[in-house]
Amino acid sequence: MKDNIKVARTLNQIQIAVIDLINTKGLSKITVRDITSAAKINRGTFYLHFKDKFDLIDQYEANILEKLTETFKKYTPLLPRSESEIEQLSLEALTYLNSERRLLRALLSENGDPVFTNKIKHMLQYVLRETLIKQKELMVKKSAIPAKYAQEMALDSIVGLVIFWILEDEPDSVKEVAQIITRTRFMAPVDLLGLAINSKR
């Protein structure tokens, strides 16, 4: 049996310290010493749980990505076939993200781990690819631009939107954002921006 209570307390102190340190001095400048002294634990103890600073961040991120993947799996085989299905899935994913807002804000901020965004993108890409294979019949129309670009942009815009929401100081509600995500799937950038651009050449 592990002394789970002891471990849990230590890991807790570490996470609180790390979030605080990311926000104050930035992840890249944090040392293991910083973490352990802020968490008021022995430096050796840190190495009992983590290989190094990057391993620590990896564990946090992997945990979040895993939970998020499960949410998506619940909706497989997607893609969703209707607006309301898109909205429902968005709602569930956003609700989970919101529950981890403190950690996510730190990791996704300028002071955080700039690689995390890429990991999120790759996870989503993997999930989408899995389901797209089973859903080829959905692809009925030919797009005006190569699929690779379309996929990349769809992914970037949605990931960008969610991260933007996470980083807001007074974020809109989960429900509002789920609706916004749904709407944006059906609107062009020019229309989203409300611009009047002459589409004649």
Residues lying near a second copy in the complex (CB under 8 A) are found at 79-84, 86-87, 110, 114-115, 117-118, 138-161, 164-165, 172, 180, 183-201
Is the separation of the CB atoms in 87 and 182 below 8 Å?
Answer: yes
Out of 5, 144, 145, 197, the residue judged to bind DNA by CB under 7 A: 5
Task: Determine, following the binding rule CB under 7 A, whether residue 16 of this chain makes contact with DNA.
Answer: no
Q: How many residues bind DNA (CB under 7 A)?
A: 24
Name the residue nearer to DNA (CB basis): 39 or 120.
39
Alpha carbon distances (Å) from 155 to 127, 150, 159, 187, 201: 12, 9, 6, 15, 29
Name the residue nearer to DNA (CB basis): 52 or 172.
52
Of how many residues is the chain composed? Answer: 201
Buried b (16+ CB within 10 A) or exposed e, 141-165: eeeeeeeeeeeeeebeebbeebbeb
Task: Determine, following the binding rule CB under 7 A, whether residue 121 of this chain makes contact with DNA.
Answer: no
Of residues 64 through 93, those in contact with DNA by CB under 7 A are none
Name the residue nearer to DNA (CB basis): 51 or 102.
51
